[in-house]
Amino acid sequence: MMTEHLKLISSVRCFEGEQRRYEHLSETLNCTMQFSVYLPPQALKGESVATVLWLSGLTCTDENFSAKSGAQRVAAQLGLALLIPDTSPRGDQVADDDAYDFGKGAGFYVNATESPWVDHYQMYDYITKELIELAHVQLPLNGQLSISGHSMGGHGALIMALRESNRFASVSAFAPIAHPSGCPWGVKAFSGYLGDNRETWREYDAVELLRAGKKCPPLLVDQGSDDNFLAEQLNFTLLKEAVAEHGVLAELRLQKGYDHSYYFIASFIEAHLQFHSRYLKR
C-alpha cells in the first residue's frame, strides 16, 4: 500500500503555503479517491508539521472545507497541515442511493457490512489506516495528529477519537451527530450499512462509546442554537450528559444565533485550530 502513487491534481498558493488536491487508488475502498491537503509555509521550507484531520458532513466532498472555512490563514500562522478526505467512496461502480443522506456523499465513516455497500463503503478503515498512513509517508507531516469535523463529520471525528484515543492529541466538532443510533439520519445510515442488529451500531456512536467508558482526548464542541437540525438529529444534550458523567476534559459550547452552515464553521474555526495547536505542540 505504501508504494501507492499520489497524483497531484491541483495546487494553489495560499497564505504562503499550498492548497493541494491529490488522487489515488484506494485499496480499502476499491475505487479511485481524491483528498485535499493544506501545507503551511513551514512545510514548504522543509519542516515536518503536525496535522489536523478534517471530516466533512453530508453531501460534501474534500473541497467544501478548503473553499469555505477560511482555515488556511490560521493554519499557516500555527504551522499546521490540514488533511481533508472525501465523505464516501466514488465512481460509477460504487453503489449509490437517490437520497442526499445515504450513499455517495454520505458514508457516515463506518465500515459497511451489508450488501451492496460492503464492497466499497469502508470509510472508517480508509481514513484511520490507509489515508493517514499514506499522507504521512508521502507528505512532510511529523506524525502528530488531531481530528475535527462538522455534522456527519463531527460524528466521524468523535468516534475515531474515542476508538483511537492514543492516535489523536485532541478532538473537536461543529454540530456533531452525537448519538446517531437515536436520530433519523443515523438510524437510516446504520440500518443500511450495518444491518438491523443495534449492538453493532454502538461502535459508531459517540454517546454510546462514552457511556461504555472509552477514553477521550481533550474535546471542544461548538453547537449553534439556531441550527435547524439541533432538536431532531444532533443530540447535543445527550453528548453533554455523557461527557459530564465520565469526566472528559471537554468544553461544549452553545453558540447563540448560529446555524448549521459554513458561516458557523468559519466563525469559530480559528478557536478550534488554536485549541488543537496547544495539544499538538506539547
- Give me the active site residues, please: 151, 227, 260
Cα–Cα dist 23/156, whole Å = 22
d(CA 103, CA 259) in angstroms, rounded, equals 25
Is residue 181 within 8 Å of residue 235, measured between CB atoms? no
Q: CA-CA distance, 94 to 182, in Å (whole number)?
A: 28
CB atoms within 10 A of CB 213: 7
Please check whether residue 258 is in contact with residue 224, taking contact to mean a CB–CB distance below 8 angstroms.
yes
Find out whether 72 and 19 touch, Cβ atoms under 8 Å.
Answer: yes
| Apex 85 CA angle, 43 and 123, nearest 5 | 135
Query: In terms of C-beta density within 10 A (0-12 exposed, 13-18 middle, 19 or more buried), how is residue 145 classed?
Result: buried
| CA–CA separation, 227 and 150 (whole Å) | 12
| CA 50 centroid distance within chain | 16
